[in-house]
Structure 1
């Protein structure tokens, strides 16, 4: 499917305290479009601190709400690992889990780091009564502006079918997503 670039532009939906939130509709196939979300954060912090908070699965619950359990399943090397996250979602949603393959690209001496995340099939046992997300992609780009300022860009989309009509689900997802990013920025800027 060919997409007209003018129809696929990011729309700025919210902006506050150095955080910008964007959305756009992306076709999955000829019948289905999904909402892709993007956030840009300018944070007074170091590149290493920013990387540490978003790449260490043990720290995910510090800034991501609703995590019941998060664990590192396997580390192939310092640039590739598998993680498992079990999300405890508010009623009326059912809990969900996801296993992601994370790949990091950081060249020696570079001031830019990218991390791509993609849900994958994995033999890790599925939690009872929990849906496993299988069509999720996301990425972080972290750029050092100077020693104490970084620009972080996070982009995510899920092709898994919505559990509820979008009119119900989208406001909840947006509120949680925005809250997570505010918390992340606050943690990054703590002394």
Structure 2
């Protein structure tokens, strides 16, 4: 039960040093300095420390996988926000809505007692960089009323790369600035396991398309 609580509480908020709001324009986000963590079923996991606002160090995670699902199908699947609940453990529902300038997601996260359920409202963006690459980004926003306890700042991105007609590479990156709920020696192995298992579930789901 303790492990289940740890998994769900930290699902969308990897452990970090503090809880102040992030100005992502000030992040050190060059794509270097990744440390290899492990590989499972041909899914590779990396992590690194990045600096926010020139002072706050946070842990960013990255997972890489290859799928025999075509580029177009992967892109279509990941662009459909409702599919996240099929592979992302803990997500109860995702609703999409828009304001005058952004496409937004309202993500409902179920947590067991004694924790309250959480809600994440995030901006959703899709970029087609060229015929072989596309990027999906999700970034939390606090500009909207939230009915439940909200997650602190959270960012995630999927980079989709066409390797061949029947082979596609997916790179998933995520970080949050939410303060840790438990000692790192307890929660860190659990977070890594959940992160890896989510990617395993995604890879399996894509193989079924």
For the aligned pair, the TM-score class normalised by the smaller chain equals 0.7 to 0.9
- 2:51 aligned with 1:27: yes
Measured after TM superposition, the shift of residue 30 of structure 1 is: 5.6
C-alpha offsets along residues 120-173 of structure 1, whole Å, 9 cap, x if unaligned?
12424322xx3x123111211101111110011111110122222322332222
1:171 to 189, 195, 203: 189
1:112 to 121, 133, 148: 133
Measured after TM superposition, the shift of residue 94 of structure 1 is: 4.8
The structure whose RCO (Cα within 8 Å, separation 6+) is larger is 2
Q: Pairwise mapping of residues 35-114 of structure 1 onto structure 2 (< 5 A)?
A: 35-74=59-98, 81-89=103-111, 94-106=116-128, 110-114=131-135
Q: State whether residues 82 and 93 of structure 2, in contact with CA within 8 Å, keep that contact through their aligned partners in structure 1.
A: no
State the Cα RMSD in Å.
Answer: 2.7
Using a 3 Å threshold, how does the CA distance of structure 1 residues 142 and 2 change in structure 2: closer, same or farther? closer
**Paired residues, what number?**
182
Q: Secondary structure at the match of 1:187?
A: helix
Measured after TM superposition, the shift of residue 71 of structure 1 is: 1.2
CA distance in 1, matches of 2:56, 2:185: 16
Structure 1 regions of 5+ residues with no counterpart? none
Greater shift, 37-46 or 117-126, is seen at 117-126
Using a 3 Å threshold, how does the CA distance of structure 1 residues 25 and 91 change in structure 2: closer, same or farther? farther
Greater shift, 36-45 or 51-60, is seen at 51-60
Hey, what does 1:141 align to over in structure 2? 159
Structure 2 regions of 5+ residues with no counterpart? 1-25
Using a 3 Å threshold, how does the CA distance of structure 1 residues 75 and 2 change in structure 2: closer, same or farther? closer
Measured after TM superposition, the shift of residue 14 of structure 1 is: 1.3
Q: Secondary structure at the match of 1:106?
A: strand
Per the normalisation by structure 2, the TM-score is 0.76
CA distance in 2, matches of 1:111, 1:9: 25
CA distance in 1, matches of 2:163, 2:53: 37
Using a 3 Å threshold, how does the CA distance of structure 1 residues 17 and 190 change in structure 2: closer, same or farther? same
